[in-house]
Structure 1
């Protein structure tokens, strides 16, 4: 199920062939998202994206211009609970080293995973004192990216109110 922020559902393989631009056999491990596709297609077509459009063009990575890639973290937010899939509402941020997830609405749970030392994300180290500085740093990054994407608790509450109106959740 692609609704959780856990690694098995969070990652999506991406294979691209672009003769004379991407060298055969090239691999990349940068933090990219499906919302980067539109930006990429627009740049390749020579069109300018709307200023409020999210995502980054992948073209610099295709051309080996890694220094032009600016994303250090990926943000994710899942709103649709309660719904048929019963995936709890959560949002979070992932860097190459760590992943911080906050489950909210009818729970208030935080999870932190050390992606370098626990690639299967089985050990939640959020409460581990050794990771207290990481927790603070990741929460700050999370706050910044939520502001960047104009995501907020009030937006989440709009979904809750909509679901109440539709009778999907009780008052």
Structure 2
């Protein structure tokens, strides 16, 4: 009985936390692309954000951006701008907006939209490009919490 009660309590807490997550199609951006509200209602974890930025199967931000604080990670790219000092250049809402959908802030950027699903005409490359197209049920590249974690890490990058 005690185990069942604990399991029920844990699932209710998890359900309540999940209910607070903003769905990709419901993200509210201002005219410049900033996202003022947290996607999860929870603070981001900078250490987890660092993992997302350096892990190939997740964000892999260092593939395009140079980040001095992440020198240990191999193969920094030069497609995007250096991320050194971004915590001074942009506030949390602006950073969140850029990670969610950089195309709203920077028209024509090649940076992926990390928190968009197959909504509002947004499509990913299909069979013509990869030969292995996903069905229409796939979600965003990163979870809402991973976005918050990346924003927390980027906010630490000061000049």
Q: TM-score w.r.t. structure 1 length?
A: 0.22
Q: Is the helix fraction higher in 1 or 2?
A: 2
Give the structure with higher Rg (CA): 1
Q: Is the strand fraction higher in 1 or 2?
A: 1
Q: TM-score w.r.t. structure 2 length?
A: 0.23
With a CA cutoff of 8 Å and minimum separation of 6, indicate the structure with the bigger relative contact order: 2
